Amino acid sequence: MATTAAHIDVQVSPDRVWQLIGGFDSLPDWLPYIPVSKLSEGGRVRSLANEDGDVIVERLEAFDNKARSYTYSILSAPFPVTDYLSTLTVHGVPGEGGSRVEWSGSFTPVGVADDEAVALFQGIYADGLDALKQTLGA
């Protein structure tokens, strides 16, 4: 099992950040790489399309509005991994009024070295958090 994580600090309140990213169907609102998201199974499964038209299907595994966090798994995707589980969380930064957004994941690489799979998701998380920062204007 391989893991990776990325975080970004923004001078935006945690509630405002969570309002933007906390919906399981909200990726197109802040992540240009994912322009399409459609929910099914009562909002527990999202079918995403990236800019290249690749389809990624994910299941919501846990949601905690109070802790500003959700965890999801990948059901199908063009990535060389299995057993993918990821968490997106927004924390308040004490005394600063800002937020730290963390995106982490664990997965089993298939047909590629661990470091190659880690680099793939590290890039996705870091680029996604940079896009979030731009969307927030922070």
Q: How confident is the model at residue 138 (pLDDT cuts 50, 70, 90)?
A: low
pLDDT over 70 (residue 72): yes
Distance between CA 89 and CA 85 in Å, rounded? Answer: 13
What percent of the chain is predicted at pLDDT more than 70? 99
pLDDT of res. 56: 96
Q: What is the pLDDT of residues 102-115, one digit of tens each?
A: 999 999 999 999 99
| pTM score | 0.94
State the average pLDDT over residues 68-92.
Answer: 97
Give the pair of three-digit tokens for residue 38.
């459609």
Q: Which of 39, 44, 101, 112 is nearest to 73 (CA)?
A: 44
The backbone region for 132, taken as left when phi is positive above 0, alpha when psi lies in -120 to 50, beta otherwise, is: alpha
Q: Give the integer Cα–Cα distance in Å for 122 and 105.
A: 9
Contact 71, 61 (CB under 8 A): yes
Spatial separation of the C-alpha atoms in residues 100 and 78, rounded to whole Å: 29
